[in-house]
Structure formats: structure tokens, C-alpha cells
Chains A and B, each alone.
Chain A
């Protein structure tokens, strides 16, 4: 390949093109080009080194274990855009743009590799022949896809303006720069093709370029050459600017979000970090300032793209409470970068902190694998453990009741097993003659409405020929509401006592009718030593039905079904409860928000203990969604949900037309006589 080539460069043998055509491949091109590239990379590195100083304000947290699994997850989520594609529309537009732009990046890299390395050093040219045709076509189409989707996203952001979408200077810079890069790229191609490929069959492999060549073809050769050269340098400058701006704009998400997918919490889903309360050197608990958070909490803010998917799904945000998970994450980030000593609780706001139901809708949908809930719990831990503060006096009273009586309802602890009188249950404290230990939970033990669920569940177990043991007055609150409210000390006290009692009972298997108990026993208690298998009742009963031990009359009925957050998003149990309902003849009319998109009842995160004073009522919103299915039966699997719905149907004035029930109640009624 010669330098300073003539204008027409036609290869007779093979299809290819001259790289650096018209701009030259000499020092006059390469030196400024590589200097600019180095400057861009230097800016990129400098920007992130500066940002890393802020990440380091946080406490240590190991997110580099299982490097292979982490890398695989990251590659899958980035290259296949798995998380992004969970939301149609903008998700698809982003993915197509990403794939288009990524292909252009790869294509550009191939050109650099050939021109400045393989060809220069080894005379190896691979952009030729059939591969070059494919290369041309793919890049042309990739560019087109990127342009079209970028335009669609621009229309969305500035014309449609979806509610809650925040648009800043960064978005303007990004859209402008990307448009300019794509358009200049295409016009460079068009100008080059107008001069070199007019009438050449090769042109058909660059359809967009060919179209533009036709558009600019009339300008005349000397103008085209000048235009091409000018645009080439301008395009290079834009590309350099793009790379250099990555750490300083939301472009940073290209690297930070990808990295966050590597750094993601690898579960168990929804298990909180257990605080070491025995460590006498710990002077502060929970988070008051960013330095009390982990570096990952600060990094999360940098991985956030403000896509507002979390906010769109937040039950608190959607009922006019002052909580947006997106804002929580970003206030923490802003504080870290601008005022690291500031009081995070003041910055985020108490009302926002206490409004969270820990339903995980935010965290589940986040395309950047950000951990919203843990941050909120850390702030709550500080309020409770360091200040003795709660969202209201009723919550403090409930905490004291848990301390005194082992339940938040304030019922005398000795009456905990009274609900089971006459049912023929085994006292697991004094006998080991039982097949399964039923960890009843506070609501099914003391709350009249939920006692009916417990009795139904026992009836089902006994119909399947199982001997059920309970701990009676020795059972305590599992501690979940206290823990989610930030009261780690009370949680660990309850957990320690329960684990001792359970182990002493000799139980080999535990079953729960409360998903909060289930999640806590099967995940959180593991840190404190419980090893016994735990099953939630829909799974347990499904197995009994599948094994043929439990026979249910399958006359058909219509219902809707509410995925509790703690069986659903926390444990991915969407199928088993539905199968169980269907095996009993249930025809489920799905609510618009179901499965992983399920809308919380409002009682998670310890909110069951608190009055809902802000905004509109979450439980009313949810029962109205259920009523919209046109069925008169709302099936639930959680005592908190059931309590909220019983209250919600009254609040919505639809108690005549919608009846909330637990799956177990419906099943127990359908036991063959």
C-alpha cells in the first residue's frame, strides 16, 4: 500500500478499500491522531482515578470473590443486555443502540488493527473480499440502527417526556455527541464513496453510505475531498471527546454499570448483612455519613443511569410518599462527591427512609444491579440503634412488645399456642413425635383473621397424614419486622432464642405460613447457626399434592393472586403457588402487576407495625388492582398481605365484592369429605 495515493484506487482482484484514504497514513496524520487518542485515554483514566478517591471513602466490602462467575454474569448482562431488555420500549431501543454502537466500535478497532499493526508490521490485510463486504454491510446497518434508536430515545426524552424522567446537561451532551459521531461517520463514508466507489458494485454493501454518496455526489471532487478530510478530523475529535468525557458525564455508565454487574450482590436474595454485635470496638452502627456506607454503596450511585425503573415500581413513590429509590441512591452519591461529611439521614430524609417496604421492586428491576434496600436499612439501623428513633410511637411500642412478649401485637406470650387448642398438634418442646415443625409466626398465632389460616393449614397437613409440631409459647417473633426497621439487636435476640428452641426440638424440617418468617429462617438465620430445611406453605402443600398425599376437590373457581414480595421477588416462587391454586380448580385472572412486577401490599420492611401517614394507602391501591381483574376472590400467601387486604377492601369500599383469603383456606375448604 502506498502513501499519498491517487484519487481512484480500484482493486481489480478483491474488494477492499484504502484505509486512511484522502487523509494520508503518514506522520502528519498518525502523530496527531495518536496524541489525541492518548489524551482521551489519559482523561478517561484521570477521571476515574479521581472518582475512585471518593469510592474509597466507603468501608471495605468484598465483591471480588467468584471472579469467573462474576465475569460471566457481567458479560451476559452487558453483551446480551439481559437486564436492560426486561423493560420493553426504551430497553429495546437502548439495546439496539448498544449493539449498533458496539459493532461500530469493533469495526473501527479492526481498521486500526489492520492499518497500524497487522498491515504495517506484517503485511497482513484481512479487511478484504467477502469479509470486507460483510464488514461494510454490518457496520452500515449497525450505524443505521444506532441512529434510529438514538433518535427514538431523543423523542422519548424531549418530546414524550415520561413522568419522572430526569433530564440534565449530561443527556444533552450525550445525545448531541452521539448524533454528531454517527452522522459525521456516515457523511465521511458518503463523501469517500462518491469519489471512489461511484458505479462500483462494492457500493451496494454500504447501502447507507451509497445513499449519502448520491446526495453529496454533485458537489464535485475537490469539494468532496475537502469535505471528507474535514469531516474525518472532526469525527476523530468527536470520538476523542466521547472517550475523554466518559468519567465526567453519564457516559461513565458504560464502564461503571458494566463493572457493577460484575460487583453485583450474589445472594442469597434479600439477605441483610448481619452486624457483629459482640465486637466491642464498634462504636457506631448503621450509616449516618457516607463513610459509614461501603465503597460499593458509593459506586452504585455512579452506576445509576437515572432510568427511573426503580421509581416507576416503588409502592411508596406510587402512593405519593417522599421516597424514590433512585433519589436515595443518587443523594448518597452526590453527598459522597460533594459533601462527604454531611448527615445522610438529613440528606435522604427521615420520611423517605421510613417509607420503604423493602419489597425489592427497585432492586429486582435495576439494570445496573444497584442495591437500594440495603442502603435504606443501613440508614434505619443508625436511627434505631444509635438514636432510638422510629417512624412513630406505635412502632416503638411494637418493638417493646416484641422484647417483652415476643410478638409485636402486645399479646401475652403464654397464649401463643392457644389458637391450636383442640387441633391435636404436638408440643415440639416436650415431644419429638412430629413430622414437620410448623413455625407459626406472630400473626397466625394471635391475629383472629390469620388464626383461620393457621387452622386451615393444619387441617391440610393432617389430611395428608402428617403430624404437625409447634413450639407454642416458646416460639418468638422471627424478628423480621424489627430487623427491616433497623433494630438488628432485637432481631438477633429473637433469632438466638428461636434457634435454640428449634434445635432443642429436634425438628428436621420447618414449614411456615408467613413468607417473612420463611425468608428470615431460611436465609438470615443461617448467619446465626440455623441449618434445618425450611419450606413456605405453598411449596410444602404443592409437594403434598404432587405426591398424591393431599387430595383436593378441583371444582373450578375464579380468583386473582397476589405475589407476596417475600415469596416472589425475594425467593422467585411464582410458579408453585399458582400451580397449587390451579390444582384446586382455581382459574387465575392475573393482575396487571404480577410476578416480578408485583405491587407490594404495603406491610413489608416492618411497615406492618407502622401507621401509614403519608400519601395514599398502598393496600387500597393493591386491592383496587385486584378488583380490576373482575374476580371476587383475592388469594394471598402471607399474613401481612392478608391483613393489609382485609383493611384495604374496607378502605376502598369493596369488601362486598372482593374477598381476600389465603391459599390454604381455599384448599382446606376443598378437602374431599
Chain B
């Protein structure tokens, strides 16, 4: 069995963000980088399948040279080899272009199962996984929170609105996008970190995969407008209660 897991390098969300000169994306300087959180669930699930079945697991990442650092973590978690689609402008590409790069690489490789995160923490389109599945002609199950594999069939749980869960079956090959709650990603062990340094890391230029033209154009990126913050009411309990009632009367309609 052949497995593929697609990951993205994103800035740590605690970073101080600035908008770049073009006003369409964030400035990439002074940021700490890490693996997209949802992709960590994808890697963990893929590694669990690999451990259970002995499957061969490839990790794919699109981006500039620095994404190799994040790929090393996936390799240390247990992926067998890495494919780096070298692309300094990946952050400018729309989800369709990214999906087309993945599909172009995966098209003739015969992967039985493809794992992606349900969305990225920075762009958050949630489209790459499903569009890659479409381009590859595979069934896709999104936002999975449970996963089981039996033979050539997967049974996954999806999280729906209001805490309802759906159970979905699909026959391989298939693609799943992973949501928080699926698993707890492992902390790489030292021997695996050491082994990861020696694992195969193939580089493919994005241009060689002939990415499709963009379907979307980011027009403008802005910070959300500052709105009123929280108010702390402190002091004597009776007085605090009075002030709370006054606020509720003045600013809301709950007591009207």
C-alpha cells in the first residue's frame, strides 16, 4: 500500500503579523514557522496506518527551501521519504493551483490513501484537499475525526454541526482531510529525528509540474477592525451587580 500525506508550513499563530508591501499577504519576515496544525493530525494518522500495515508513506510539501525544516518533523514522526515541490511563490498561489501541483505529482504514483489537513491555519480555504481529490478522480471525505481501515475500505467519522457525527465509508483509493480530535500527534523520538536526517528528500520544481492557472485572486488583506474589549467589573458584589444590570439595560436588549 502507498500513502501520501500533504503538509504545509505556516507561521506560528502567536507571531506578530504585518501585511506585506503588496497588501495581499502577510510579510514573511520575523515569523516562527511550524507545521500546519491540521496537517499534524494527517501525518499522525498516516503514520499509524503505515505502522499497522507496513505501507510506504511519502510526505509532500510545497514551498521555498525553508519548508524542509517542517518536512523533517514529518519524517521524524515516521514518514519514509519527502517530496519537496520547490516553489518560492507558493504563498501567492490560490488553492486550485496548489491542488493541481499535488495532483500533477500524485497522478501516476498510484497512492491508495492521501491525507491532508482540513485547512491551513494561515489561508484557511479548506479547498486544497477536496480539489486535489477531484483532479485525481478520488472520493474525498472531509473533516474526519475518526479513522479505521479494513482491507480496501475505510470507515471514517465526520464532525457535523451541533456535535453530530456521521460515519462514512469509502473504498480505496481515497483522500481524507483531517480535523482536530482525530488523534494526538506524537512527539518525535530522538532516534527517529536522527534517522529523519538521512531519509530521502526528493526535490521537484513547481514549474516542472505545470501548475494550472489561478481561479481566484486575493485582492486585499487587512487586519480586523479593533472593536471594544472585555470589561472587568471588580469591587463589592452588590455594586458589581448593579453596574452589570445598568450595562445590560443600556447596551443590550436582554432586560428590555
Q: Is B34 an interface residue (CB 8 A)?
A: yes
1/0 contact trace for B144-182 toward A, CB 8 Å?
000000000000000000000000000000000000000
> Could you say which of A285, A388, A488 has the most chain B C-beta atoms within 10 Å of its C-beta?
A388
Within 8 A of B (CB), among A401-429: 403-406, 410-415
Q: Is the Cβ of A388 less than 8 Å from the Cβ of B12?
A: no
Known contacts: A393-B184, A412-B32, A473-B30. The answer to whether A405 contacts B14 by CB under 8 A is yes
| CB of A280 closer than 8 Å to a CB of B | yes
Is B190 close to A, CB under 8 A? Answer: yes
A387 to B188, CA, bound (A): 8
Tell whether A399 is near chain B: CB-to-CB under 8 Å.
yes
Report how far A100 CA is from B52 CA in the complex, Å.
68
B111 CB within 8 Å of chain A: no
Beta-carbon contacts under 8 Å, A258-298 to B: 277, 280, 283, 285
Across-interface contacts of B14 in A (CB, < 8 A): 405, 410-412
- Whether A414 contacts B15 by the Cβ 8 Å rule is yes
B residues near A387, Cβ cutoff 8 Å = 189
CA distance in complex: A178, B232 (Å): 71
Q: Complex: how many Å from CA A411 to CA B12? A: 9
Contact between A404 and B12 (Cβ–Cβ < 8 Å)?
yes
Bound complex: CA A399 to CA B190 (Å):
14
Q: Does any Cβ of A come within 8 Å of B203's Cβ?
A: no
Tell me which of B184, B186, B190 has the highest count of chain A C-beta atoms within 10 A of its own C-beta.
Answer: B190
CB closest residue in chain B, given A409: B14
Per DSSP, chain B at the interface is loop
Question: Hey, what's the 0/1 contact readout for A495-534 against B, CB within 8 Å counting as 1?
Answer: 0000000000000000000000000000000000000000
Query: How far apart are the CA atoms of A386 and B32 in the complex, in Å?
Result: 27
* Distance from A477 Cβ to chain B, minimum over Cβ atoms (Å): 13
- Checking A277, A403, A473 against B190 with a beta-carbon cut-off of 8 angstroms, the contacting residue is A277
Interface size on B, residues (CB 8 A): 18
Residues from chain A with a CB closer than 8 A to the CB of B31 are 412, 414
B223 at interface by CB-CB < 8 Å: no
Nearest 6 pairs of A and B residues by beta carbon: A388-B187, A414-B30, A385-B190, A412-B15, A412-B14, A404-B34
Q: Which residues of B contact A400 (CB under 8 A)?
A: 34, 187
Of the candidates B16, B34, B187, B191, the one having the most CB atoms from chain A within 10 angstroms of its own CB is B187
Return chain B residues, CB-CB under 8 Å to A277.
Answer: 190
> Which partner residue on chain A sits nearest B30 by CB separation?
A414
Can you list 9 A-B pairs, Cβ within 8 angstroms, ordered by A?
Answer: A385-B190, A388-B186, A399-B187, A400-B187, A405-B12, A405-B14, A412-B16, A413-B15, A489-B193
* Residue A390 at the chain B interface, CB threshold 8 Å: yes
- Which residues from chain A contact B34 at a C-beta distance below 8 Å? 400, 403-404
> A75 contacts the other chain (Cβ, under 8 Å)?
no
0/1 interface trace, chain A 368-386, chain B, CB 8 Å (1 if under) = 0000000000000000111
Does any Cβ of A come within 8 Å of B33's Cβ?
Answer: yes
CB-CB < 8 A to B30: which residues of A? 414, 473
Per the bound structure, the CA–CA distance linking A411 and B186 in Å amounts to 22
User: Which residue from chain B places its CB closest to the CB of A406 in the assembled complex?
Assistant: B32
Residues of A at under 8 Å CB distance from B?
277, 280, 283, 285, 384-390, 393, 396, 399-400, 403-406, 410-415, 473, 488-489
Give chain B residues whose Cβ lies under 8 Å from the Cβ of A285: 190-191
Dominant SS at the A interface?
A: helix
Contacts of B186 in A (CB 8 A): 388
B residues with a Cβ closer than 8 A to A are 12, 14-16, 30-34, 184, 186-191, 193-194
Check A280 against B32 for contact (C-beta < 8 Å).
no
For B34, the closest partner residue in chain A by CB is A404
Is there an interface contact between A386 and B190, defined as CB atoms closer than 8 Å? Answer: yes
Cβ B33 vs Cβ A404 within 8 A:
yes
Chain A residues within 8 Å of B190, by CB: 277, 285, 385-386, 488-489
B32 and A283 within 8 A (CB): no
A413 touches B184 (CB 8 A): no
Which chain B residue lies CB-closest to A277? B190
Q: How far is the CA of A396 from the CA of B185 in the complex (A)?
A: 10
A385 to B32, CA, bound (A): 24
A412/B189 in contact, CB under 8 A: no
Which A residues are CB-close (under 8 A) to B184? 393
Q: How far is the CB of B160 from chain A (nearest CB, A)?
A: 26
What is the minimal beta-carbon distance from B11 to any residue of chain A, in angstroms? 9
A414–B16 CB distance below 8 A: yes
Identify 12 new A-B residue pairs, CB closer than 8 A, beyond the known A400-B34, A403-B34, A414-B30.
A277-B190, A285-B191, A388-B189, A400-B187, A404-B33, A405-B14, A410-B12, A411-B14, A412-B15, A412-B31, A414-B15, A415-B16
CA distance A117 to B195 in the complex (A): 69
Contacts of B32 in A (CB 8 A): 404-406, 412-414
Q: How far is the CA of A411 from the CA of B15 in the complex (A)?
A: 7
Chain B neighbourhood of A415, CB < 8 A: 16
Residues in B with CB closer than 8 Å to A386 are 189-191
B188 proximity list for chain A (CB < 8 A): 388
Nearest B-chain residue to A384, judged by Cβ: B187
Residues of A within 8 A of B193 (CB): 489
| CA A415 to CA B32, docked complex, whole Å | 11
Residues of B within 8 A of A396 (CB): 187
Residue of A with least CB distance to B187 = A388
| Residues of the B chain whose Cβ atoms lie less than 8 Å from the Cβ of A403 | 34
Report the bound CA distance from A315 to B186 in whole Å. 31
Judging by beta carbons under 8 Å apart, are A283 and B189 in contact?
Answer: no
